[in-house]
Amino acid sequence: MSEVTIYHNPRCSKSRQTLALLEANGVTPNIVLYLENPPDAAALKHILTLLKLTPGDLLRTRESAYEALNLGNPARSDDELIAAMLANPILIERPIVVKGSRAAIGRPPEQALEIL
């Protein structure tokens, strides 16, 4: 198993570009299709810690579920935002690349190379 993991959505161009960039740099990552196999709450909290982000920072605000669930409401707690991402993994920003104690969002894709 690879020491690098990518939380990947093959329908996302940035996710595909990040995966291709990793592979072009000799990295064969463990690919997690997070829409089909979302992380659990503990894993998502760990990823947030590695990214040094809040749950609100990891939300995809242009997804219809964001508006439908009123996730922009500042009264929403971190736990509520995490629960929303777990129930609707499309809300999780992508791609996320994790290597050991470091993580990066591949936006732009080259950002993922910084943790290798």
Q: Which listed residue (5, 6, 8, 12) is catalytic?
A: 12
12 is catalytic: yes
Q: Which contacts qualify for 68-71: CB closer than 8 Å, 24 or more apart?
A: none
Q: What is the token pair recorded at 35?
A: 């829409």
- Supply the residues annotated as catalytic: 12
